[in-house]
Amino acid sequence: MKQIVQSLKSKKTELIDIPAPLLEPGYLLVKTTRSLVSTGTEKMAVEFGRSQLINKIQQRPAQVKQVFDKIKSDGITSTMSAVRDKLDQDIPLGYCNVGTVIESGVDGFIEGDRVVSNGPHAEIVKVPEKLAAKIPDNVSDDEAVFTVLGSIGLQGIRLLNATFGETIVVIGLGLVGMITVKLLKASGLNVIGIDVNENKCRIAKSFGIYTINSSSQNPVKAVLKKSNDVGADGVLITATTKSNMVISQAAQMSRKKGKIVLVGVVGLEINRDEFYEKELSFQVSCSYGPGRYDKSYEQEGIDYPLPYVRWTEKRNFIAILESIRNNLLNVKDLISERAPFTNHRLVYDNIDSNESIATVLTYPDTSNKEINKKTIIIDHSSFIKKIGILGIIGAGNYTKSIVLPALQKTGADIKYIASANGVSGTKLARKYKIKQSTTDYLKIIKDNNVDTIIVTTRHDTHAKFVIESLQEGKNVFVEKPLAISEKQLDKIIATYQILDNPNVMVGFNRRFSPHLKGVKKALNNGSGPINIVVTVNAGFIPNTHWTQDIEQGGGRIIGEACHMMDVCVFLSGSQIERVCMNGLGKSPLSNIDNASLLLKLKNGSNAVINYFSNGSKSYSKERIEVYSQERTIIIDDFKTTKAYGVSGFRPIKTKTDKGQNSQFNDFIDLVINGGLPLIPFDDLINVSRASFAAVESMKKRKWIELPCI
């Protein structure tokens, strides 16, 4: 299928071929018939994509600080590589879609239903049930395509709580502003529209509202005059500008105790006096309404109770569709032009100067079979079966920045890469000459030519992909963690035990670093238990991030600190038998990524892992100290390793080397030539159980004994 994206690297707006999305429970697959170009929002994305690097940096001041922090901790070479990776991506455009359901994983929707959604400009879109609504029979596709943008304006109106007869000002008469004034007019309100563009003012005036051209009139004086010096009861800002003038003018034209709602994007340096004297209220409207960006609502389909949240984003969709059906909202006169989806350049090449209000993209009536292909060919060269053929499941940032560059150095033969939306996987397939991009991971697992699966998806899916890959007789490399629960781990063990010579590897890459190898070699010169102190300056991640979600990411101890548990197992040469963990503060369970872990290993070694997220970014991310028989060895951020009291030890100095390249080189060599597992399966299980036990010990406030393996 085809989709419109903005390339940050080439700076071009492109129509690319990608595999169609795979249906999931709670989602719909929709074959698009119409999509609407949201000129304001998409223009910003296109302009950002086409801008020079220095301009991109200026537009993202928060990210600039992150870059400087990363330079301090990782060095300029590593940082610039990360920046280039971040900018080497394709951004899907569009979020106003109409089409027909071709596959449904949702009760209440069947094949053939016409629906609206916030899907992008693509021939097939995958959308969750809460972001889709059925289209009434007497509402055309051309009309329905305005639903999502209409909901943005409607949500702003709802936040005003305007009553019949009040005067409402709309600043910015772009497409959202035009729909907003129509909705306000239909609600019995006195509407004033303001814009700098005379043509837009003229069009809005034809809807029966009073308009002000702010480039030739003083908008504050004009509003006060029109309202008999009372001022506006409410102001909706739907404009896009970096200037702070709009928010100031909105305050000046408001009556006492008036309300201002921001729907667009403007400068927000507020003059306190202007708001203080009138006791004005100001609120930012979030997209389509309650539920937006709420994972439990949008992705998991958990609705808000109607008596308590009357207007969710989906209910706003339905309200817009009903207003069109009942002829309360006329959107046909907003359509300036229609353009074939395949001729997207007619629209986007001139988006800077395009004066049209609404552009509707029309889609060809292509057969479902032709466009609903889950796998596409990237490299058309013939394929010869041999040992060491890889399939990668997961095309996120880790795959892009770490896995593929490392695999490329090994000369590994990669046949497939799978991604959920097809865009990221296809981008990487083209860059790294991977033969096929797919959204159907089962095609990879079931392919007899593929003998090795690499899993780099979100943590909650790891166990599933490992089990299914093992059952098909594949070698498996899975990025840590192996599993995020005892139940998942038990299923992996059960599968492993009934197979002949299964090969499972977890991405505990640090044990492959020259720093850890050097320490291990030095320790082998003596015997007996050792003391290990590991300090991880992990950095802050908000609780809303998926890695912090116990159900999806497992939390940072299970999902990330397991790395350091493996370091302790590797250095001591012994498995963990007891774990105790305590967190920061009086409610440690709410601060689980600021914790200290005590590990007792079977050979008598002791280990302390300090996993902190509240430290300075300018300090080392990881520091490992080993104490044994009057010897001390210290690894600082996998850049330097120094030893004290160790005869003949030469300091190790490298660029940051956490063993990623060596890990993949050794793994591919093992796949092709055979040999013993790089990490014993028992050690993988032990570390997994130790991470679960750490969280349990915090809950129960006691040591947790691990079961014997």
Q: Give pLDDT tens digits for 438-482.
A: 999 999 999 999 999 999 999 999 999 999 999 999 999 999 999
What residues have CB less than 8 Å from 428, skipping those under 6 apart? Answer: 395, 399, 400, 404, 417, 419, 434, 437
d(Cα 535, Cα 556) in Å, to the nearest integer? 14
pLDDT at 265 over 80: yes
User: Counting beta carbons within 10 angstroms of the beta carbon of residue 1, is it exposed (0 to 12), middle (13 to 18) or buried (19 or more)?
Assistant: buried
What domains lie within the chain, and their CATH numbers? 2-146+331-363 (3.90.180.10), 149-284 (3.40.50.720), 375-506 (3.40.50.720), 510-705 (3.30.360.10)
Mean pLDDT of 588-600: 87
pLDDT at 515 over 60: yes
d(Cα 532, Cα 566) in Å, to the nearest integer? 12
Query: pTM for the complete prediction?
Result: 0.88
Higher pLDDT pick, 10 / 367:
367
Kindly state the percentage of the chain with pLDDT values over 90. Answer: 80
pLDDT digits (tens, 9 = 90+) for 200-219: 999 999 999 999 999 999 99
Give pLDDT, residue 387.
80
Mean pLDDT of 150-158: 97
Give pLDDT, residue 525.
60
Give pLDDT, residue 73.
57
pLDDT at 191 over 80: yes
Which of these ranges, 40-49, 161-170, 217-226, has the smallest mean pLDDT? 40-49
Chain mean pLDDT for the chain: 92
Higher pLDDT pick, 58 / 50:
50
pLDDT digits (tens, 9 = 90+) for 623-661: 999 999 999 999 999 999 999 999 989 999 999 999 999
The pair of structure tokens assigned to 80 is 């610039």
Give residue 501's pLDDT band: very low, low, confident or very high (50, 70, 90): confident
CB 679 within 8 A of CB 508: yes
Higher pLDDT pick, 70 / 253:
253
Give pLDDT, residue 9.
81
Give pLDDT, residue 56.
53
pLDDT at 12 over 70: yes
Give pLDDT, residue 635.
98
d(Cα 392, Cα 438) in Å, to the nearest integer? 10
At position 297, the amino acid (one-letter code) is: Y
Type and span of the H or E element at 45? helix 39-50
pLDDT at 18 over 70: yes
Shortest CA distance to 669 belongs to which of 448, 394, 481, 407? 407
pLDDT at 82 over 70: no
pLDDT digits (tens, 9 = 90+) for 216-249: 999 999 999 999 999 999 999 999 999 999 999 9
DSSP 306-319: TTT----HHHHHHH
- Phi first, then psi: give them for residue 45, nearest 5 degrees: -65, -40
What residues have CB less than 8 Å from 217, skipping those under 6 apart? Answer: none
Give pLDDT, residue 469.
97
Give pLDDT, residue 53.
57
Give residue 550's pLDDT band: very low, low, confident or very high (50, 70, 90): confident
Helices (H), 161-271: 175-186, 198-205, 219-226, 245-253
Which of these ranges, 49-58, 123-132, 173-182, 419-428, has the smallest mean pLDDT? 49-58
Give residue 528's pLDDT band: very low, low, confident or very high (50, 70, 90): confident
Give pLDDT, residue 353.
66
Give pLDDT, residue 66.
61
Give residue 89's pLDDT band: very low, low, confident or very high (50, 70, 90): confident
Taking the mean position of all CA atoms in its chain, how far away is CA 331? 33
Helices (H), 285-371: 295-298, 313-325, 345-348, 368-371
pLDDT at 64 over 80: no
Interior CA angle at 189 toward 172 and 314, to 5°?
A: 70
Give pLDDT, residue 152.
97
pLDDT digits (tens, 9 = 90+) for 375-415: 999 976 654 556 889 999 999 999 999 999 999 999 999 99
Give pLDDT, residue 262.
97
Give pLDDT, residue 512.
98
Kindly state the percentage of the chain with pLDDT values over 70. Answer: 92
Q: Hey, is 169 helix, strand or coil?
A: strand
Which of these ranges, 286-290, 541-545, 603-607, has the smallest mean pLDDT? 541-545
Shortest CA distance to 303 belongs to which of 96, 114, 129? 129
Mean pLDDT of 183-204: 96
